[in-house]
Amino acid sequence: MNFELKHLDLVGAADEKTDLLVVLVPQDFKAGKDELSVLIASALKTGDLEAAAGKCLALFRPLQAAATRLIVAQVADAGARGVRLAMLAALAQGKSPTMKRLVVCFAAAAKEDAVRAAVNAVAEVTYSYTATKSKPTPRVLAKAVIGVPNPPQVADTFERAVATVAGVELAKEWANRPANHATPQLLGEAAQALAGHAKISCEVLGPKEVAKLGMGSFMAVAQGSDQPLRFIVLRYNGAAKSKAPTVLVGKGITFDSGGISIKPAGEMDEMKFDMSGAASVLGTFKTLSLLKPAINVVGLIPACENLINGKAVKPGDVVTSMNGQTIEILNTDAEGRLVLCDALTYAERFKPRAVVDIATLTGACVVALGAVRSGMFSGNDEIAQSLAAAGERAQDLCWRMPLDEEYAEGLKSNFADVANIGGRAGGAITAAKFLQRFTEKFPWAHLDIAGSAWKSGAQKGATGRPVGLLVEFLLSQSTDK
């Protein structure tokens, strides 16, 4: 699908020959004398178009426009939320199996966040997973035109949004794939494919190399599976070598049975999504390849399965992490932190300006924040504020959670330096406190995306979050002196 930003007012939009024309109308709409404006004004006056975000009026082969279908949608205050509601409602009504061309026209000057919301909504509604279907239904939409009266003011945001959509969709693609179609080896190959882009390089380490590094915690999780682990190192070099990189660490558990602390059978299929953190790193690198910002970024993905065989790690086992700390594994289903801690230690070698790990880490975070915001943990105020602001810009929200030292009390062990769980209370925080032990040498933040990375039920599938947040965070650094 191609996006195009175009100068359009309502007169120009009416002349567009397209399968669907969506006109986004603000609450303070001022009608002109053209036929489309008169139609909208009349609909507002009679109440056929209600003055609330997401309310729509649909017409087939309207006399006032060249489009096959016309949907006039109310966006209320013209902010991002109103535009998103309007777009989702309009596309739910107007999308058809034959819709190859879509025109979205803002009836008044568009704000940057509104344009981003429109692009995101078009991509979200028209996305189609096809990889493992014998008779797939691919995306039909080939062209989406975003028409605004003020293109120069929103051009940069439009370009960024389109590039971010490409990254989000790559993340969705890999997170949605069943575990047998997204093994650690295949994930490594996906990363290597990104190295075909300028400025990106990739190295994939196997079991022997990981053993030489002393990643005992990571290897302990992987030993329960016949699928060999992979440790993926992606590098985007857009700035001078002397400029310290930002490191992204994505949890890559390609399937999580829970190990010996096995999960309940219900909805266990959704544990293919446990590599959504890794998928978000792949997606972010895809977007970097398109935008080519002047920054350096490293992506680290510890990838393995958490399964059960005769070699699987057992509750009570003690393993030694890459930095020498010993860990008592009290619950084998708290495996994400075990692979991440070694990746965090590996990140030290890059002398990073910042490290952000991304993981579907805890059900406790889902209880705390639901699916609206990702949990964000950091002892560094500057990084925390930058991530929160990036989430707001990207419409990919996070919420800062506490990291008081008292929460680490539950991680004490009689038999190792630290236990891998700290009880049910504050589980998302104790998981973050565990990871924090391995981050003393760099500024760090942790994103728990267990609630935001995928949807369950009839709409089951990956969301591609938090690619948007990560991209905005990285791009804000490109402007730093």
| 155 lies in some domain | no
Which pLDDT band holds residue 477 (cuts at 50, 70, 90)? Answer: confident
Tell whether 119 and 234 lie within a shared domain: no
**Number of separate domains in the chain:** 2
Tell whether 144 and 181 lie within a shared domain: no
Please give the positions annotated as active site: 263, 337
Q: Which residues pair with 10 in a beta bridge?
A: none
Domain interval for residue 63: 2-150
Q: Running DSSP on this structure, what letter comes out for residue 449?
A: -
CATH number assigned to the domain comprising residue 241: 3.40.630.10
Tell whether 181 and 97 lie within a shared domain: no
CA distance 328 to 313: 11
| 167 lies in some domain | no
Tell whether 417 and 353 lie within a shared domain: yes
Tell whether 137 and 182 lie within a shared domain: no
| 160 lies in some domain | no
| 7 lies in some domain | yes
Which pLDDT band holds residue 223 (cuts at 50, 70, 90)? Answer: very high
| 164 lies in some domain | no
Q: Which residues pair with 215 in a beta bridge?
A: none
Tell whether 289 and 383 lie within a shared domain: yes
Last residue of a domain, one of 116, 150, 184: 150
What is the reported pLDDT for 479? 63
Tell whether 83 and 189 lie within a shared domain: no
CA distance 410 to 205: 34
CA distance 175 to 179: 9
pLDDT single digits (tens) 335-381:
999 999 999 999 999 999 999 999 999 999 999 999 999 999 999 99
Name the residue type at position 227: Q
Mean pLDDT on 234-254: 97
Tell whether 429 and 324 lie within a shared domain: yes
Q: Running DSSP on this structure, what letter comes out for residue 111?
A: P
What is the reported pLDDT for 481? 47
Tell whether 263 and 404 lie within a shared domain: yes
Tell whether 56 and 182 lie within a shared domain: no
| 166 lies in some domain | no
Q: Is this model's pTM higher than 0.75 or not?
A: yes
Tokens of 405: 């030292």
| R_g of the chain computed on alpha carbons | 24
3-state secondary structure of 175: helix
Last residue of a domain, one of 150, 183, 205: 150
CA distance 454 to 470: 17
CA distance 129 to 420: 36
Tell whether 291 and 378 lie within a shared domain: yes
Q: Running DSSP on this structure, what letter comes out for residue 5?
A: E
CATH number assigned to the domain comprising residue 18: 3.40.220.10
pLDDT single digits (tens) 389-445:
999 999 999 999 999 999 999 999 999 999 999 988 999 999 999 999 999 999 999
